[in-house]
Structure 1
Amino acid sequence: MKKTFYTLCIAAVFVSCNLDEFPLDKLAPENYFNNEAELETFTNTFYQQNFPEASSIYSESADVIIVTTLQPEVSGTRTVVNEGGGWDTGSWQPLTYINNYLHYSHRCSDTKARERYDGVARFFRAYFYFEKVKRFGDVPWYDRPLKSDDPDLYKARDSRELVMSKILEDIDYAIDKLPQEQNVYSVTQWTALALKSRICLFEGTFRKYHGIAGYEEYLDECIEAAEQFIDESPYQIYKGSQTPYRDLFSSNNAISTEVILARDYEIGLNIIHNANNYTLSNTYGMPGLNKKIVDSYLKTDGSRFTDVPGYATMEFYQEMQDRDPRLTQTVRGPGYTRIGQTDRLSPDFSCSTTGYQLTKWVTDPSQDGYNKSYNDIILFRAAEVYLNFAEAKAERGTLTQTDIDKSIKPIRDRVGMPNLDMEEANDNPDPYLTSDVTGYPHVSGENKGVILEIRRERTIELIAEGHRYYDMVRWKEGKMFEQEFKGMYFTPGMNSDGYRIYDLDGSGDVSALDVCLYTTSSAPKAADHPELAVIKTFLKIGSAFELTGAAGGNIIVHNTETEPREWREDRDYLYPLPLSQIQFAPDKIKQNPNW
């Protein structure tokens, strides 16, 4: 049986609501932390406390995956709350556990064991503070336990500069002290290098695009960490099946070839999640891939799909042909079958806002139904580190074709895609990716073209893995959330009876896999129209979904005229602090700008 993060352990008794007291009927820290086993037991709680749940990863929705309800961050409806908001006592409690551990771990006389698990603790403190800085910017730095009457409980926020320097100290310690042996369920030196590359890429690009000094240092730190990982780690891009990209995420047990760290799920222990049901039911947001992302996938020969005349008005079957294989290993394409089955299935429009129905993270039908999925959820994998390396070097201005060959090429090789040519990309930046509607208009400079291509690669490779929102934040591209979200295209033109059949499977004949759109008050009947006898899916325009035209066009999700969105450049890249926290110490704790 796999090791699980979620075993109840003794560590939980050492933190109570009153920070300077311990429950008298429980073990006290002065009697614990004596040996390696006790250090390991305590630090095991950090995994559950700090890492996101599965649903936070597979249900990621910003401008890539569109669901029925807009996130407040996307709609522009965030408000300043009185309590919570990521700054409440509960959200800081994981740090209390970490600092308590580091305060008492000296009780263990086994120096090697103590340094290893101190490395685990400092890995998680770096992770904890990284998440806080991403959300709030300046935050108070605490590296010791606090008593309930400690004046520092409501001290002023420390500068981003100070907190980030402390984060680097912690992660560097973790890199130095954690073991090198692969362990897909415990942090290692390789996990720490992966986290450092993630942290430093974020901070470096955030500073670069938001006009904050010091971005070069962080990009250099990212490059160094990522390159050490690429050159020295035992990890590589998984290619061990005919559909390797799909299988990496549908595997019940994390594939250790590529996966550095995963969150463990076990049906036998009732440790489960809801990924299958999320994509196969109509009650969890009906996630669908945004049309602009579908269009961004390259053709199999490496050329740009958006350079093809008429690409924007291609119907489903046509647009899915000769594309990067990751497209049809991420959404249902023509000829799609469930894992372990042979029946061909079309996109289910009752479960997908855009018609591009997600299959990433979806397993075999035995895991269908509410909370019946138990495939491991990936937290860190080699492909992300490779992408971090390439992007940091491109933004730093030091990228070479050799760097691309060791980072982007292995990722594309997985699915048989041609390598990225740096010179060609920079000579001819993709207009689709420079557009202020579908791209990233803030990219400039000599490496503009290759930076755009690396962003394309990152978006496609890391869909539904929890990265997109903060990628847009660090790139300063929040205005993109205001753009119209679109889905599948249907050629206009109903017949005289007010309906039209669309050939989703490309058979050339009417089949059960096709869909009938109609504009009449009720669905046309097979008794009146025999060709409809095999059709299973009937969708009324204006009821099932809205199209850009009265009788055809693209599916529109969250029409910007009826659901207006606003992203404020002077405010929305950071979250507000809750009012209650400011009221505790109004002379010290200040609100983020313009909230």
Structure 2
Amino acid sequence: MKYLFKMDIKACAYISIKGFIKSKKMKTHYIGLLLGVLFLSACQKDFLDRQPESDISPDAFFRTEKDLELYTNSFYNVLPSAEGVYNEDIDNVVKQSLSDEIRGTRTIPVSGGGWDWSELRKINYFMANYNRTVPEDKAKPYVGIARFFRAWFYFNKVRRFGDAPWYSKVIEEGDEAALTQPRDPRTVVMDSIMADIDYAIANLPTGKSVEKVNKWTALALKSRIALFEGTFRKYHTEFALPDYERFLTEAAAAAGTLIAEGPYVLFQTTPDKSYLELFAAVNSDENEVILTRRFSDALQIWHNVNYYTITSSYGRPGLEKQLVNSYLMKDGSRFTDKVGYETMQFYQEVQDRDPRLSQTIRTPGYQRIGGAAEEVPQFGASMTGYQVIKFVGDVKYDSYNRSENDMPVFRLGEVLLNYAEAKAELGNVTQADLDLSINKLRERVGMPGIDLAAANIAPDPYLAAQYLQVNGANKGLILEVRRERRIELVMESFRWDDLMRWKEGHLLTKQFKGMYFPGLGSYDFNNDGNADVQIYTGTKPTGSIQFLKLGTDVSLEKGEDGGNVVVNEKIDKKFDENRDYLYPIPIQERQLNPNLSQNPGWNDGL
């Protein structure tokens, strides 16, 4: 095995830290991280592939608490980018193109494919060296950070691959046993993940900070991890995984502790603005947001959400019709119980709905932040016509890559949903549990809360036709919790994981749809007496409204006879129930380590 680089992670970390120190009196640690990440990405290779020479002794660096702090700052690199939060598709947000996961065309990669271990090596290197001079009681908070991110790292591996080799130390050159280690069972890895996150909860500080992990962040992560694992084990009986109740109990307990003891409350202004303002704000609200990804115009750290939603350059994202149908009426009744809901035109269908609908897409009366005119949906920027506005900030940020609003990674809203779902899936939920959690989200937007008894007496048939695995005494409630989760967390990139853990991959094969139009002609989106869009055939009409040529700019289910907008109608989507809930192990990794087994249904010929 060759030395690929003379400079090992210690030297890389040292230079990363120097970059941090030189970042002119930053208010956040992200510029330093950026410098560090750029250098670390050049220095690090997969730790299974090499063992570097040691140029800097650990004794020369891990000497003070400040050293531990600076080193653990580099772990934040794994937080999702802005695009990793808002750039959701799946069956929530429809785009011009479809990912391989949605099309069912994933193949086994030669290398990469998420089977990367460099971040784990950094963490395990810290764990091996943090206690050289710093007393244990002083080091514990930094160990808590390390173990938080190791739990995060392995959770991502488990939800992607299932079984994974568990490494709690840096692999030394020549350690053939470790280099050829088979995948550890999912049950073993998950128990180790839970031990790591429990240590983090016990040893991280309790002070609020949207930029640094703390006890509350660890509780939020635990609730997310345990809910995923508990529901995955419950619904994926084909894997014969035990103890789903234990994980759901842990999820409810972690979320319950954060709700009862944490310093967080939901952001609240007025019902018709709270939800939109939470995500459009430049700086994350520290009352609801537990951990965020910082962006800043002053520090020249930007993202692209405004441009993404108003141009045709990024897939023209739009909410899918089935999701729009799922929003309740403002009085709590079901939209899909209304006679003729399937053929309602845009203006009519968005009247008197859950206020989050008009705070997620453009609806009549919508005005841009920083703008004066009312704006109607633009098909040039939205495949379905349901043009998204969540995360969209002031018009001054409309240029390419100039948005600076923070991106929440953990927020109280998710934790409330985790608590309600875990209790519902366990079957021990009470009305008080709902009032403590999910009904607070309804209350924020002026919606009536879920009534436990009423939900279970009359489960929603529209939702039941989607979520085929849901049965039992709490069927109605579980469906309502899933409705609430989908609506509250849309564009926050939870949907793929939700469908995978619920074993509802079949929903990805449904025809994606948009607005309903009865046929050719002109349509008034805001009921002001003026046409906003015209669907035509033949020669393009003249005028200043939106003109959509049928079959070219837009497709309808029944052509000239109308129907819902259909998106990617010529693509035959597939989902293999026996294979696609897990990703494949890359071929090269299995060639290097013949003890790595492949996931079911993925035939690589090895």
Rounded Cα–Cα distance in structure 1 between residues aligned with 2:452 and 2:321: 26
Match of 1:333 among 363, 370, 378: 363
Query: Does residue 398 of structure 1 match 2:428?
Result: yes
Match of 1:518 among 528, 536, 545: 536
Q: Are the counterparts in 2 of residues 10 and 41 from structure 1 also a CA contact under 8 Å?
A: no
Structure 2 match to 1:590: 597
Gaps of 5+ in 1: 495-499, 526-532
Q: Deviations over 1:535-594 (max 9, x none)?
A: 4211111111110122221100111xx2111111110000001100111122x1111011
1:192-211 matches, within 5 Å, as: 192-211=218-237
Alpha-carbon distance, 1:440 to partner: 0.5
Gaps of 5+ in 2: 1-25
TM-score, normalised relative to structure 1:
0.93
Structure 1 match to 2:17: none
SS at 1:262 equivalent? strand
Structure 2 match to 1:433: 463
Structure 2 match to 1:497: none
Rounded Cα–Cα distance in structure 2 between residues aligned with 1:341 and 1:284: 23
Structure 1 match to 2:3: none
Alpha-carbon distance, 1:477 to partner: 0.1
Structure 1 match to 2:110: 82
Structure 1 match to 2:524: 503
Structure 2 match to 1:478: 505
Match of 2:67 among 38, 58, 61: 38
Rounded Cα–Cα distance in structure 1 between residues aligned with 2:149 and 2:484: 28
Query: Does residue 553 of structure 1 match 2:544?
Result: no
- Which residue type is aligned with residue 32 of structure 1? F
Match of 1:447 among 470, 474, 497: 474
TM-score, normalised relative to structure 2:
0.91
- Which residue type is aligned with residue 104 of structure 2? G
Match of 2:546 among 533, 537, 540: 537
Match of 1:276 among 282, 289, 306: 306
Provide closer, same or farther for how the CA distance between residues 268 and 454 of structure 1 changes in structure 2, counting only shifts above 3 A. same
Structure 2 match to 1:321: 351
Alpha-carbon distance, 1:86 to partner: 0.7
- Which residue type is aligned with residue 83 of structure 2? S
Alpha-carbon distance, 1:503 to partner: 1.1
Alpha-carbon distance, 1:418 to partner: 0.4
C-alpha RMSD over aligned residues: 1.5
Provide closer, same or farther for how the CA distance between residues 386 and 238 of structure 1 changes in structure 2, counting only shifts above 3 A. same
Rounded Cα–Cα distance in structure 1 between residues aligned with 2:325 and 2:243: 36
Rounded Cα–Cα distance in structure 2 between residues aligned with 1:34 and 1:524: 74
Alpha-carbon distance, 1:16 to partner: 4.3
SS at 1:516 equivalent? strand
1:164-203 matches, within 5 Å, as: 164-203=190-229
Rounded Cα–Cα distance in structure 2 between residues aligned with 1:488 and 1:28: 63
SS at 1:581 equivalent? helix
Q: Are the counterparts in 1 of residues 370 and 396 from structure 2 also a CA contact under 8 Å?
A: no
Rounded Cα–Cα distance in structure 1 between residues aligned with 2:57 and 2:448: 60
Matched pairs, number: 565
State the identity as a percent: 47
Rounded Cα–Cα distance in structure 2 between residues aligned with 1:5 and 1:121: 18
Q: Are the counterparts in 1 of residues 179 and 593 from structure 2 also a CA contact under 8 Å?
A: no
Query: Does residue 567 of structure 1 match 2:575?
Result: yes
Structure 2 match to 1:138: 163
Provide closer, same or farther for how the CA distance between residues 226 and 51 of structure 1 changes in structure 2, counting only shifts above 3 A. same
Rounded Cα–Cα distance in structure 1 between residues aligned with 2:209 and 2:27: 11
Structure 2 match to 1:70: 98
Q: Are the counterparts in 2 of residues 5 and 45 from structure 1 also a CA contact under 8 Å?
A: no
Provide closer, same or farther for how the CA distance between residues 30 and 371 of structure 1 changes in structure 2, counting only shifts above 3 A. same
- When structure 1 is superposed on structure 2, of 332-341 and 255-264 the one drifting more is 332-341
Structure 1 match to 2:80: 52
Rounded Cα–Cα distance in structure 2 between residues aligned with 1:266 and 1:63: 31
Q: Are the counterparts in 1 of residues 326 and 483 from structure 2 also a CA contact under 8 Å?
A: yes
Rounded Cα–Cα distance in structure 2 between residues aligned with 1:42 and 1:97: 9
Alpha-carbon distance, 1:501 to partner: 1.1
Rounded Cα–Cα distance in structure 1 between residues aligned with 2:264 and 2:353: 27
Q: Deviations over 1:17-71 (max 9, x none)?
A: 47533463xx4423111111111111111111x1111111101110111111111
Alpha-carbon distance, 1:10 to partner: 6.8
Match of 1:98 among 119, 123, 141: 123
Query: Does residue 220 of structure 1 match 2:249?
Result: yes
